[in-house]
Amino acid sequence: MKRSTGVLGLLLFAMVGCADDKELQTEFGSAKSVREYRQVVEDVIVEANAIEREARERAVGSTGQASGENLSPVYRQLRPRLVALIAKMESIESPKKLADMHADVLAALGLRLAAYDLVIEGWQIEHQQTFEDAQPLYIDAAKKLNEGTGILLQVNEVLLEVDIALAEAEGRTLVS
pLDDT in tens, 107-159: 999 999 999 999 999 999 999 999 999 999 999 999 999 999 999 999 999 99
DSSP letter assigned to residue 96: G
Q: Is residue 107 part of a domain?
A: yes
- Grouping H, G, I as helix, E, B as strand and the rest as coil, residue 109 is helix
pLDDT in tens, 65-83: 778 888 999 999 999 999 9
Q: Is residue 11 part of a domain?
A: no
Calculate the CA dihedral of residues 101, 39, 161, 29 and round it to 10 degrees. Answer: 80
pLDDT above 50: residue 165 = yes
pLDDT at 61: 61
pTM: 0.81
Percent of the chain's residues with pLDDT above 70: 84
Total count of residues recorded for the chain:
176
Q: Please provide the distance, in angstroms rounded to a whole number, between the alpha carbons at the two ends of the chain.
A: 59
pLDDT at 20: 40
Q: Identify the CATH number of the domain in which residue 152 sits.
A: 1.20.120
**pLDDT, the chain, mean:** 86
Which residue has better confidence, 126 or 62?
Answer: 126
Q: Is residue 121 part of a domain?
A: yes
Confidence of residue 19 (pLDDT cuts 50, 70, 90): very low
Q: Domain residues for 141?
A: 23-169
Percent of the chain's residues with pLDDT above 90: 69
pLDDT at 162: 94
Q: Is residue 12 part of a domain?
A: no
Question: What are φ and ψ of residue 61, in 5° steps?
Answer: -80, -175
Question: How far is residue 146's CA from residue 173's CA, in Å, rounded to a whole number?
Answer: 33
pLDDT at 99: 96
pLDDT above 50: residue 17 = no
Nearest to 49 by CA among 156, 143, 160, 174: 156
Q: Is residue 6 part of a domain?
A: no
| Distances 42 to 52, 65, 170 between C-alpha atoms, Å | 15, 30, 19
pLDDT at 63: 64
Confidence of residue 9 (pLDDT cuts 50, 70, 90): very low
What are the residues whose beta carbons fall under 8 Å from the beta carbon of 17, sequence distance 6 or more? none
Q: Is residue 15 part of a domain?
A: no
**Number of structural domains in the chain:** 1
pLDDT above 90: residue 4 = no
Q: Is residue 4 part of a domain?
A: no
Q: Is residue 111 part of a domain?
A: yes
